[in-house]
A and B are shown apart, each in its own frame.
Chain A
Amino acid sequence: MATPAALELVAVTKRYDTTLAVDDVNLKIPAGTYCCLLGPSGCGKTSTLRMVAGHEAVSAGDIILGAQNVTDLEPAKRGTAMMFQSYALFPHLTVIDNVAFALKMRGVDRAGRHRRAGELLELVAMSPYAARLPAQLSGGQQQRVALARALITEPQILLLDEPLSALDPFLRVKMRGELKRLQRELGISFIQVTHGQEEAMALADHIVVMNHGRIEQQGTARDIFHHPRTEFVARFIGGHNVLSDAGQLIAVRADQLGIVPFGAPALLTQTEYQGSYVAVSLTLDDGTALFSHVPEATFDVHPFRPGDRVLATWDPAKAQRLQ
């Protein structure tokens, strides 16, 4: 397998006509990192990934992989490989020929490329399906084949464009685990584009939250969840209330927002039983919507009902001040 390499983006910018898709992005991803580019659609995460892959020209800035500036290299010469959102398997080729495709392009003979492709199918547990056509596989199986096909070039970095979005929720969680396992085993970096914060938190060593073509915040999942820096991050990462405290925006985690039955500044609008906790929705008189995750046992001590007037409380020391 190829040696893992670090990736660095230096002031990378992507302009489409007049719109800025990616605006002066600086990013360092150490070798062997599982990195997720997280953000809403249109935030520039996919453009960033495609620039790293070499499928999109960089308007300004540099992309450095290991010791090499790869900004103007074609995809296959970079040491990256891309796994496409819809998997993009060749419908007319069998599974093994799909996986062996890159080696065929390099002129490796049939026996040699099939042997290597067989090893990769082994890695993703798809050996029994080698002779099938993609149309005869389920979504999850197609994804494994796409993964094997991307890995056959021994990339230093694997780029994944929303790899789990086409799968049903159960399979998504299962494949998520396998991606993570594979990344650990191979020791190379995976850079994955996703709009699901849950997926990013479950997978990533390093999360890059993007918005409007810029990096809003980056760090480990815990970092970001504990210390969201901006209102956007606090809202997008989920589980946070954003409210105004003496003219300053703060974020309070839903599980750290308490509810007490005296005072009456907030109207309780809804309770939802979620098993280990109860999700309680509140509305302040100024219209601000809040929600609180009350542990089941705590809730049972004083079961609130919609229409109750309550007081929401939090520990100021644990509230995050937002920029």
Chain B
Amino acid sequence: MDTSENILHQASSGLARGSDTARAKAARLSPSFISWLQAGPMMLVFLAFFLIPLVFVVIVSFWDYNEYQLLPAFSGRGYTDTFEGCIAQIPDLCTIGKTYLKTLKLCFMVWAITLFIGFWVAYFLAFHVKSKTWQMGLSLLCTIPFWTSNVIRMIAWIPLLGRNGLVNSGLVKSGLVNQPVEWLLFSEFSVVLALVHLFTFFMVVPIFNSMVRIDKSLIEAAYDAGATGFQTLVNVVIPLAKPGIVIGSIFVITIVMGDFITIGVMGGQQIAAAGKIIETRLNALQFPAAAANAVILLAITFLIITMMSRIVDIRKEL
């Protein structure tokens, strides 16, 4: 009697335990749901402030407009106005073509220079600076340009590069030139200089990040196999730093392609650039035309990045 009761009791408690675990399982969230929850806030921000506005930009780019209002009817005017006269002028480039070519040229120069400087700064930090503290300290030094606003940084160039600036007065006094050099400020040179100054850091960080992850024994193994310093650079360091190079390049290219403030200020408002066209159209309240230009710029930038991503699978490398 006693035992049978005991068994019964055990059985019922076992049953209760069973239902407990079932309830616990239902209350526990599946791991994939938790991942969605974690990514959710960023996704919503992205959706609300990036994707939806972007869709509106594309929609508006196909609207019609007159001098004072938007006309919500489908029209290709935003695009046709942008490319006005381009076909007639062939083989000469029309204004818009020249502007984009100019933007690409500036972008290419800034990219090439920031890549060159950024690569060697990162190389120095990763391979020649031995202590972690120094690496950290020197990396922080690279952020100095970001300690003040963009406008102040640009204004700061004027007393240095202007007609009566430090560089020119130095050159004149030393007798190297008779007259102040004109191309130092409000020129392509000053635009590239300012952009390089600003964005080299965006090259240094990802490249440095790739390089510190290179096992130092790989360099030794290459040396052991008879590789010269240059061969090691080409065959080992550059291939392994490639993800960083591509990520840095994407940063620099996307920023420079859309820039109009730095190009405007440092170019003395004399240099036409893709971003500048959008600004002009906006100021003229021609929103569909501005949107159309934004879409074109986006497409070109996207094309460049797609090409770069072909070189390396970024998702795999991160």
Contact = CB atoms under 8 A, between A and B. Distances in A.
B221 A105 contact: no
Interface string A90-110: 111000000001101110000
A90 B221 contact: yes
A83 to B, nearest CB: 9
A88 B220 contact: yes
B221 A84 contact: yes
The contact size tier of chain B is 10 to 19
B235 interface: yes
A105 B225 contact: yes
Contacts of B74: none
A139 to B, nearest CB: 15
B246 to A, nearest CB: 14
A74 interface: yes
Q: Chain B: interface secondary structure? A: helix
B223 interface: yes
A183 interface: no
Contacts of A141: none
Given A86-B217, A88-B215, A104 B223 contact: no
B215 to A, nearest CB: 6
Contacts of B227: 101, 105
Interface string B212-239: 0001011011111111100100011001
B240 interface: yes
- Residue among A75, A77, A153 with the highest chain B CB neighbour number at 10 A: A75
A94 to B, nearest CB: 12
Contacts of B217: 84-86, 88
Nearest to B238: A92
A81 B236 contact: no
Contact of A149 (B225, B226, B235): B225
Contact of A86 (B215, B226, B231, B240): B215
A274 B141 CA distance: 62
Contacts of A82: 220-221, 224
A215 to B, nearest CB: 25
A173 interface: no
Contact of A55 (B224, B226, B228): B224
Contacts of B226: 75-77, 102, 105-106, 153
Contact of B235 (A77, A89, A104): A104
A150 B217 CA distance: 14
Contacts of B236: 90
Contact of B223 (A74, A91, A92): A74
A53 interface: yes
Interface string A117-150: 0000000000000000000000000000000011
22 contacts: A53-B224, A55-B220, A75-B224, A76-B225, A76-B226, A77-B226, A81-B224, A84-B220, A85-B217, A88-B215, A88-B218, A88-B220, A90-B218, A91-B218, A91-B240, A92-B239, A101-B222, A101-B227, A101-B235, A105-B227, A105-B235, A153-B225
6 A-B pairs with the lowest CB-CB distances in the bound complex, closest first = A76-B226, A102-B225, A88-B217, A88-B221, A105-B227, A75-B224
Interface of A: 53-55, 74-77, 81-82, 84-86, 88-92, 101-102, 104-106, 149-150, 153
